[in-house]
Amino acid sequence: MFLVRRKCITSRDKLWKVASLLKQICSEYEEKGRGEALIYVSGWGTPSDDYSVCAEWTQETLSSNAFSNLPDKIRNKLSQELQDNIERYEIEFHEIVTQDKLTERGL
């Protein structure tokens, strides 16, 4: 199992707009069967090096998302609107440690 985190760097005045857009995007994916995402902001009321909005979720495997599989609302509207409101974004991939994985490694 993996934890995926998408971090959008933005400005203070756009932070909550980006949070709303990222929440809408994640909801579209959830309707297509992806696990529920947790959305959170940094830099507004918390110490941070930047103003950012993160979405993170878990999934069993990692694979690329084919363009044809993108929900229409994301492809036709939300993706561009998000890009217009952020400076950049990063995606992180983390493997979740389970007892089975530790046992397989003799730990």
The Cα 39–Cα 20 span in angstroms is 9
**pLDDT of residue 7 exceeding 90:** yes
The CATH label, of 3.90.550.10, 3.30.70.100, 2.40.160.50, 3.40.50.300, for the domain at 2-104 is 3.30.70.100
**pLDDT of residue 47 exceeding 90:** no
Where are the chain's structural domains? 2-104
Q: Which residues, 6 or more positions from 34, have their beta carbon under 8 angstroms from its beta carbon? A: 26, 57, 59
**pLDDT of residue 44 exceeding 90:** no
What is the DSSP pairing of strand 2-10 with strand 51-59? antiparallel
- The structure tokens 């579209």 sit at 28
**pLDDT of residue 46 exceeding 90:** no
The Cα 98–Cα 107 span in angstroms is 11
The pTM score is 0.88
